[in-house]
């Protein structure tokens, strides 16, 4: 009889398991082609979208710290920016969402550290239980139990306090949370440096694009003068149709380049608006600061690398990551193998309104004790955290070395680029001075009737090209200088621009 009952029970259990698994599979395979196509065409269900929108508005419009973020980060400031680099940097520091998110990560790290500290403080709980007990003795060889049959409620109130005395895993957990807070602080510095550098670089790109666009429009004017001169010669029978066609082709090519630079300028303004959270219709003119020229000769590549490896927040964060991984390994090692000593006290009050033997009871128990837990093998039933934590230390060390190698490589590359750009600026400056001298001579010849405006326009075109190339190299040098300062961990918001 018992064997048959066991077989029936096993059969019922297997059937129930199969039914539940079948239902789960059915519930997880409902993304049919028809449903997916309908989702692509119609989008999210209207009711679900309305419900999500309502909940979003309720969350973001609360009169608390979350709601206060709306005024600073919700939209692009309609106030027109002055276009000065200093003003753009100030706006970015105040309204950039990445900086705001990094600040909230510090708050999160503070909260997690506080929770880690709470893990070593007393745990106090009060439990209220209300049970309805229906007891019936079905079979017994005890004469007293034969009388036991009752239906009664039981009310239990329990107050319990647990205090860890020695728990190394929690101690290392507090140290790990403190290190994580330091990482969050360094990450905040890194994000601020990133945003400031990106604003600086976008400003230089916009300045470069606008200057080159103006130079290209000027060159188009010079080509127009040459075309007019050729047309005048053509009226007198001395023109060259091939030269006119060539000049017109060149002017069209320059017009396409000017349109591309205008688009590049508009894109850079869009980047500035995104970074600063304010409308940037245009930027102020930027002059090349003479004190920056030759900066790569005042600091060697090795000195720049040493400074960068010490002060760059990326390297600092990676170094703290290795420390955090080691603290996590120690925490895991303690959790896996270290004994845990804790004290506890419990007060329990139980009221039974009846019993199997007739009559209720009211009891109160006080328990005070010390508990020592010694892990022997797989103490928590989840294996050993030490194994993956040890791998995490090695991974953190590799990431640290990779960050150092990346920073060193970029610093040396940028330093070398600045040297080559210095040479390019020197040669471009010489070319501009020679072109200016040739233009002066050509104008003198025009004044004495030995030349024509066509030749002067050609000289002006060459001078415009030389000056535009000089300005281009100067801006590229500024971008490389800013990149080097950024890699060395400097704060570009205090660079004096």
pLDDT confidence bin for 80, thresholds 50/70/90: low
The predicted structure's pLDDT at residue 5: 47
**How many whole angstroms from its chain centre is CA 425?**
36
Query: Higher model confidence: residue 456 or residue 349?
Result: 349
Helix (H, G, I), strand (E, B) or coil at 376: coil
pLDDT confidence bin for 179, thresholds 50/70/90: very high
Q: What pLDDT digit, counting tens, does each position of 351-361 carry?
A: 988 877 777 88
Q: Work out the average pLDDT over 80-104.
A: 86
Helix (H, G, I), strand (E, B) or coil at 251: helix
Closest by CA to 134, choosing from 154, 160, 159, 155, is 154
Distance CA 43, CA 241 (A): 61
Pairing of strands 361-373, 340-352: antiparallel
The predicted structure's pLDDT at residue 2: 39
The answer to whether 167 and 456 have CB atoms below 8 angstroms apart is no
Full-model pTM? 0.84
Residue 344 reports pLDDT greater than 90: yes
> Mean of the per-residue pLDDT values for the chain?
86
Distance CA 195, CA 184 (A): 16
Residue 223 reports pLDDT greater than 90: no
Q: What pLDDT digit, counting tens, does each position of 382-422 carry?
A: 889 999 999 999 999 999 999 999 999 999 999 999 999 99
The predicted structure's pLDDT at residue 269: 93
Q: Work out the average pLDDT over 221-250.
A: 74
Q: Work out the average pLDDT over 78-97.
A: 81
Can you read off the two tokens belonging to residue 114?
A: 């506080």
Query: Higher model confidence: residue 96 or residue 229?
Result: 96
Distance CA 379, CA 390 (A): 19
Query: Higher model confidence: residue 133 or residue 5?
Result: 133
Distance CA 291, CA 299 (A): 14
Q: What pLDDT digit, counting tens, does each position of 420-461 carry?
A: 999 999 999 999 999 899 889 888 888 888 877 778 888 888
Tracing tokens 């892990």 back to the chain, one arrives at 375
Helix (H, G, I), strand (E, B) or coil at 148: coil
Q: What pLDDT digit, counting tens, does each position of 115-134 carry?
A: 999 999 999 999 999 999 98
Distance CA 469, CA 391 (A): 53
Residue 6 reports pLDDT greater than 80: no
Q: What pLDDT digit, counting tens, does each position of 255-297 carry?
A: 998 999 999 999 999 999 999 888 888 888 878 787 888 889 9
**How many whole angstroms from its chain centre is CA 373?**
42
Residue 3 reports pLDDT greater than 60: no
Can you read off the two tokens belonging to residue 160?
A: 């319990």
Distance CA 34, CA 38 (A): 6
DSSP labels, 180-225: HHHHHHHHHHHHHHHHHHHHHHHHHHHHHHHHHHHHHHHHHHHHHH
The predicted structure's pLDDT at residue 8: 52
Q: What are phi and psi of 28, to 5 degrees?
A: -105, 10
Q: How far apart are the first and last CA of the chain?
A: 94
**How many whole angstroms from its chain centre is CA 248?**
49
Distance CA 335, CA 314 (A): 31
Residue 145 contacts by C-beta under 8 Å, 6 or more apart in sequence? Answer: 137, 356
Q: Which of 21-35, 83-97, 278-292 has the lowest mean pLDDT?
A: 21-35
Distance CA 175, CA 164 (A): 17
Looking at domain 85-120+194-339+384-494, its CATH class is mainly alpha
Domain limits, the chain: 85-120+194-339+384-494
The DSSP 8-state label assigned to residue 96 in this structure reads -
């Amino acid at each position: 009889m018992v064997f048959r009952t066991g077989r029936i029970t096993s059969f019922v259990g297997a059937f129930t398991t199969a039914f539940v698994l079948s239902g789960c599979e059915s519930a997880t395979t409902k993304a049919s082609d028809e449903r997916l196509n309908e989702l692509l065409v119609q989008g999210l269900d209207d009711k679900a979208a309305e419900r999500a929108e309502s909940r979003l508005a309720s969350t973001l419009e609360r009169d608390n710290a979350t709601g206060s973020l709306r005024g600073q980060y919700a939209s692009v400031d309609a106030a027109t920016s002055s276009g000065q680099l200093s003003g753009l940097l100030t706006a970015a520091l105040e309204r950039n969402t990445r900086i705001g998110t990094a600040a909230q990560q510090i708050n999160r790290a503070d909260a997690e550290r506080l929770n880690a500290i709470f893990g070593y403080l007393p745990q106090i709980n009060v439990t209220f239980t209300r049970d309805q007990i229906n007891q019936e003795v079905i079979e017994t060889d005890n004469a007293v139990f034969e009388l036991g049959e009752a239906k009664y409620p039981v009310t239990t109130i329990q107050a319990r306090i647990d205090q860890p005395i020695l728990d190394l895993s929690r101690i290392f957990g507090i140290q790990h949370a403190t290190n994580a807070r330091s990482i969050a602080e360094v990450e905040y510095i890194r994000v601020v440096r990133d945003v400031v550098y990106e604003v600086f670089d976008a400003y230089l790109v916009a300045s470069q694009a606008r200057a080159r666009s103006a130079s290209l429009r000027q060159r188009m004017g010079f080509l127009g003068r040459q075309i007019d001169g050729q047309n005048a010669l053509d009226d007198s029978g001395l023109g060259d149709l091939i030269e006119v066609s060539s000049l017109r082709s060149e002017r069209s090519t320059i017009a396409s380049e000017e349109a591309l630079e205008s688009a590049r300028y508009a894109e850079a303004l869009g980047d500035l608006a995104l970074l600063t959270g304010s409308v940037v219709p245009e930027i102020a003119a930027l002059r090349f600061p003479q004190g920056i020229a030759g900066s790569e000769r005042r600091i060697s590549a090795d000195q720049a690398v040493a400074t960068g490896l010490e002060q760059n927040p990326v390297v600092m964060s990676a170094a703290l990551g290795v420390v955090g991984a080691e603290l996590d390994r120690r925490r895991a090692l303690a959790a896996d193998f270290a004994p845990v000593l804790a004290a506890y006290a419990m007060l329990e009050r139980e009221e039974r309104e009846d019993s199997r033997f007739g009559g209720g009871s009211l009891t109160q128990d006080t328990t005070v004790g010390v508990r020592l837990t010694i892990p022997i093998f797989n103490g928590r039933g989840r294996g050993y955290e030490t194994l993956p934590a040890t791998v995490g230390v090695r991974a953190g060390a590799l990431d640290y070395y990779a960050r150092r190698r990346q920073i060193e490589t970029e610093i040396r590359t940028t330093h070398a680029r600045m040297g080559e750009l210095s040479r390019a600026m020197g040669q471009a400056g010489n070319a501009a001075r020679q072109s200016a001298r040739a233009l002066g001579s050509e104008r003198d010849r025009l004044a004495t009737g030995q030349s024509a405006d066509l030749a002067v326009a050609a000289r002006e075109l060459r001078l415009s090209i030389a000056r535009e190339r000089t300005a281009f190299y100067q801006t590229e040098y500024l971008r490389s200088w800013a990149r080097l300062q950024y890699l060395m961990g400097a704060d570009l918001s205090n660079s004096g621009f």
